[in-house]
Amino acid sequence: MTTIHLTHLYAKEMSIYGDRGNLLALSYYLKKIGYSVVVNEINIGDILPKQTDFYFFGGGGDTDQSDVAKDLELKKVRLKKDVANGVPLLAICGGYQLLGESYVDGTGNELNGISLFPVKTVAPDNTVTSRCVGNLVVESLSSKIVGKLVGFENHGGQTVGTNDTFIPLAKTLVGFGNNSKKEFEGCMVHNAIGCYLHGPVLTKNESLVRFIMSTIQHNLQLKQEFISDPDVVTLHDSLIHRFYA
Ligand code: GLN
């Protein structure tokens, strides 16, 4: 039986609003088509596993982000190399922010990111009167991911692209997305996605699961047929209907 290796980055420090459920969901789909799955949880001070077929990095508060930022610097070269080689990655909110160039928190303290995504994030100043909180519905702009995605966002940080290599994941339909302009959500680099879709997002957006699984299979030269879960599809459609249509 083929084993798929999933790495949960900073599982202890960064996994709020059910983010950990993304790994449960992905494991469920992978096992359904006959793979065995190993999830390695990596925390501060740990060494990255030899093999990773998918990285997940969840959200967290400013204090946790500050602790993690220093350690992330030590893992930067390997993470960027794996992403450049096509390994899929999903980072949510605080994780997304730290994979960008920098995050300036509410006290003005600047954390260095690892510049995997060409974005930078600044916590609200007097031009933004409230945090970006609520349901988020977006339309994918990527040919690799089909249709609308739904999740929940809760962030103060305002994220913007820093140069013309910035490719947003999606267009915002309901909610904010990257920032209070409500234009775009997330960022994509190779097969890495950074976004504000808490949820856990993989329990309600099968098109994202399909993208991640087809990328894993492509990278490992595997070819099992994807098996859809009708409950996930129904949940997705009903949430889109409730919040958008
Ligand atoms: N501290 C960050 C912000 O509020 C990240 C929060 C989160 O991960 N949900 O912008």
Pocket test for ligand 1, best of 16, 17, 62 (most atoms within 8 A of CB): 62
Instruction: Assess whether pLDDT exceeds 90 at residue 135.
Output: yes
Q: Is 198 a catalytic residue?
A: yes
- What predicted TM-score, i.e. pTM, was given to this entire model? 0.97
Catalytic residue among 93, 132, 187, 195: 93
157-200 residue pLDDT tens = 999 999 999 999 999 999 999 999 999 999 999 999 999 999 89
Instruction: Assess whether pLDDT exceeds 70 at residue 126.
Output: no
| Mean pLDDT score, 19-30 | 98
Instruction: Assess whether pLDDT exceeds 70 at residue 67.
Output: yes
Per DSSP, which regions of 130-223 are E strands?
Answer: 132-140, 148-155, 158-161, 170-174, 184-185, 187-189, 192-195
Q: Which atom of ligand 1 is nearest to the CA of 58?
A: 8
- CA angle 165/167/173 to nearest 5° reads 155
What pLDDT is stored for residue 127 in this prediction? 58
What pLDDT is stored for residue 128 in this prediction? 59
Instruction: Assess whether pLDDT exceeds 60 at residue 148.
Output: yes
How far is Cα of residue 164 from the mean position of the Cα atoms in its chain? 21
Residue with tokens 């960064």: 14
Contact 23, 52 (CB under 8 A): no
| Mean pLDDT score, 82-99 | 98
Pocket test for ligand 1, best of 93, 109, 153, 178 (most atoms within 8 A of CB): 93
Catalytic residue among 8, 155, 198, 236: 198
Establish whether residue 94 lines the binding site of ligand 1, counting it when its CB lies within 6 angstroms of any ligand atom. Answer: yes
